[in-house]
Amino acid sequence: MSADLRERAWAAAASVSDPEIPVLSIADLGVLRDVRMDGDAVEVTITPTYSGCPAMNMIQLDIETALAVAGFAKVHVTSVLSPAWTTDWMTQEGRDKLRAYGIAPPVGPAGRRALFGQDVVACPRCGSTHTSRIAEFGSTSCKALWRCEACREPFDYFKCH
């Protein structure tokens, strides 16, 4: 019984969309870390994409609401900063959804390159890798603003962390 309840609770929490990128669920992003049952209470663990992420309060409320709608009355959501979130936790489905939405997904695994290297980022519209970074920050802190030199369109790039 507990495994079935946990699966139901996980599915409800995993259905929550990221408020800043609504095509992604928190499971796609890797923000949803764990769902545990403690008797009839659900304990959910989430990790922000970066400390101070303004979306985390909304995500917590959305998790509580999704679980209440799924029939779970006792819900506790905990944000955990360690280990720090990494783009390596994003699912392939999440990366594909980003690209389809017009945001270039992170390139390769996270690491020192994220701080000191230069990524080769493909344009999510035309696929060209003849692109350049315009600004380190895009529409949110976790994205950078890039431009495709082939189709001349600007686009967001979800930065590696």
| Whether this model's pTM surpasses 0.85 | no
Residue with tokens 């996980």: 10
Domain ranges in the chain are: 2-79, 91-158
The domain at 2-79 falls in which architecture?
Answer: 2-Layer Sandwich (3.30)
Q: What is the CB-side half-sphere exposure of residue 5 using CA atoms within 13 A?
A: 15
What letter would DSSP give residue 49?
S
pLDDT tens per residue, range 8-49? 999 999 999 999 999 999 999 999 999 999 998 999 999 998
Tens-place pLDDT, residues 65-122:
999 999 999 999 999 999 999 999 999 999 999 999 999 999 876 655 445 556 789 9
Q: How far apart are CA 72 and CA 50, in angstroms?
A: 28
